[in-house]
Amino acid sequence: MSQEIDETTYQCIGCGIPIQSADSSKLGYLPLTAFTKGLEQGQFYCQRCFRLRNYNEIGDLSLSDDLFLEKLSTIAEDEAFVVMVVDIFDVEGSIIAGLSRFIGNQPFIVVANKMDLLPKSVKPSKIIHWLKEILYQMGLKPAEIFLLSANKRNSLEPLIEMIDQEVRHKNVYIVGVTNVGKSTLINQLIQHYGGEKEIITTSNVPGTTLDLIHIPLTDTTGIVDTPGIIRDNQLAHFLDRKGMKVLLPSKPIKPRTFQMNSGQTLFVGGVARIDFVSGQKTAFTFYLSNEAYLHRTKLEVADEFYDKHQGGLLSPPYKDQQPTFPELYPKDLNLEENQDLAISGLGWLTANHKVNLRVWLPKGVGVSIRKSMI
């Protein structure tokens, strides 16, 4: 038998996507051993649909930005209610700014996931107000904003109540970029509803490309899972699995504050460098993964220090990834008092005075200045 399945021949009967065996991270993947069994039975379920049908579990898959937005536009043709999941730890990197253009007049809400990562002293009401301002600046006016932690079932109750109402007469589409925890959220919803009705997969809206998964909750409507958008401006896309484990927080973050003078540099592992170019002595507070290594040194020796310690003291990236990790490029930024400097997929910092900074990152990683979250 060929080492790869001819994807022009077979389709998943669950979601309709062409079956392929070349890449387990892409839609339609089916191992060759399972493909052989499918030939005997005369039908095929891709691995994603198989896990959903047999284990009530859905996997995280992604599409390019352009392709995803093309699929997203089909929502406008359905009677739909849209749930956009964003990562509260990476708001700018996870908001789908053009959402309204693609879903038409369909109502939508925003679910801010990973609230359990923020310090416990943060007030939810302040976060909702702050997030609403950020969304409005991007032209997005959600019907409601929910703050939750997808891995904590009790935090989902208000969202589930709204889904119960909407799904009576609409399909509920769950959309989001990669790494926001969308699949964790959907798996929690599947477990919530799975006890009442057999979880099966069906094709999405007739006449469209079938790469969405429909999880029926009534005879005519259900939850629709959409593959996540790949956002190349997230730092995580430049890291291997080991590096991601260190820099993507999994526990409540503990802010770390450094008193710095102009002419000093602070490294975040080997992935980012913050040069304090000018300004009065300032307290910089960093909101990053607790595992992220921070190192302060003099700006005049920063280049030499980076060259000497990248992959060792300054890691990730680690030695084995260092040859392929991209070069850091500088960007000059002015940070006012009560503003955050947010780095997509890494976290943010704030300063208690106006400062002029030079921020070094891999080319393409998103960086933005915003009103302070905390």
The rounded mean pLDDT for the chain is 86
pLDDT of residue 286: 97
Range 10-34 average pLDDT: 80
pLDDT at 233 over 80: yes
Of 206, 229, 252, which one is at a domain's C-terminal end?
229
Higher per-residue confidence, 228 vs 100 = 100
Give the lowest-confidence range in 42-46, 201-205, 241-245, 365-369: 201-205
Looking at the structure, do residues 341 and 298 belong to the same domain, yes or no?
yes
Task: Return the structure tokens found at 300.
Answer: 């005049």
| Best CA proximity match to 88, nearest among 258, 256, 287 | 287
Range 26-32 average pLDDT: 82
Interval 281-296: pLDDT, tens: 999 999 999 999 999 9
Of 212, 229, 246, which one is at a domain's C-terminal end?
229
Looking at the structure, do residues 221 and 291 belong to the same domain, yes or no?
no
Confidence of residue 37 (pLDDT cuts 50, 70, 90): confident
What's the rounded Cα separation, in Å, for the pair 178 and 180? Answer: 6
Looking at the structure, do residues 87 and 2 belong to the same domain, yes or no?
no
* Total number of domains constituting the chain: 3
Give the lowest-confidence range in 11-20, 77-86, 317-326: 11-20
Higher per-residue confidence, 27 vs 362 = 362
Higher per-residue confidence, 349 vs 29 = 349
pLDDT at 62 over 70: no
pLDDT of residue 226: 82
HEC profile for 269-316? CCCEEEEEEECCCEEEEEEECCCCCEEEEEHHHHHHHHHHHECCCECC
| Best CA proximity match to 281, nearest among 258, 263, 262, 264 | 262
Interval 200-213: pLDDT, tens: 454 433 333 346 77
Looking at the structure, do residues 291 and 307 belong to the same domain, yes or no?
yes
Looking at the structure, do residues 257 and 166 belong to the same domain, yes or no?
no
Looking at the structure, do residues 197 and 287 belong to the same domain, yes or no?
no
Percent of the chain with pLDDT over 70: 87
pLDDT at 197 over 60: no
Query: Cα angle vertex 167, ends 162, 170, to 5°?
Result: 120
182-194 vs 157-166: helix crossing angle, rounded to 10: 70
Looking at the structure, do residues 145 and 11 belong to the same domain, yes or no?
no
Looking at the structure, do residues 218 and 116 belong to the same domain, yes or no?
yes
Looking at the structure, do residues 93 and 139 belong to the same domain, yes or no?
yes
pLDDT of residue 260: 97
Q: Give the list of residues 6+ apart from residue 221 with CB closer than 8 angstroms, or none.
A: 79, 167, 168, 169, 170, 171, 172
Looking at the structure, do residues 36 and 69 belong to the same domain, yes or no?
no
pLDDT of residue 1: 41
Of 10, 29, 55, which one is at a domain's C-terminal end?
55
Looking at the structure, do residues 93 and 196 belong to the same domain, yes or no?
yes
Looking at the structure, do residues 194 and 283 belong to the same domain, yes or no?
no
**Can you name the residues that pair with 371 across neighbouring β-strands?**
339
- HSE-CB for 298 with a 13 A CA cutoff: 3
pTM score, whole prediction: 0.83
Domain that holds residue 271: 236-371
Interval 134-161: pLDDT, tens: 999 999 999 999 999 999 999 999 999 9
Task: Return the structure tokens found at 225.
Answer: 């899972």
Range 243-266 average pLDDT: 94
- HSE-CB for 110 with a 13 A CA cutoff: 25
